Amino acid sequence: MNGNAPKPCSAPITDSPWFWLYLFATAGLAALMLMEPRIASRQSQIERNMQGRTRAARVRAGETPSTPLSDPARPVLTLKPLHALLAALLVVAWAGLFARRRARCHSAEPPAARVGPPSHAIPERDAFPDRTC
């Protein structure tokens, strides 16, 4: 066996907050893609209702509506900003997870040889520092 071979990482991947961000961003992006047709049809219906109410209010006020109704296939508000946000979160989380796993699993010294408390350890404090027993 080669002594320089990388050792498998002992820490589970689920301990990383980057993993959870990656998982939830992936699930959110998948859910958004699955629900997009339904959301888009509802959004176009809401926009048509709003434009109809606006036109009716202008007619009642004695004005002639000058703006045309929007095309149902091209709504004013789209889901592209949400797609971009979730995709950016996905990329950042993947990069963070990859960098953290690489740093942990390919470090020069094994985790057992490191000195000091683990990063998640909470220092103990005396509950009653002023009392002497």
Residue 127 CA to residue 124 CA, distance in Å, equals 9
Residue found by looking up tokens 């009653």 in the block:
128
22 Cβ contact partners less than 8 Å away, ≥ 6 residues apart: 90, 93, 94, 97
Helices 80-105 & 17-60, crossing angle to 10 degrees? 170
Q: Evaluate whether 40 touches 79 at the Cβ level (below 8 Å).
A: yes
Q: Evaluate whether 75 touches 51 at the Cβ level (below 8 Å).
A: no
Neighbours of 25 (CB within 10 A): 20
56 Cβ contact partners less than 8 Å away, ≥ 6 residues apart: none
pLDDT in tens, the chain (133 residues): 455 655 566 778 888 899 999 999 999 999 999 999 999 889 888 988 988 898 888 888 888 877 777 777 787 888 999 999 999 999 999 999 998 888 877 765 555 555 555 555 565 665 566 655 5
Residue 47 CA to residue 42 CA, distance in Å, equals 9
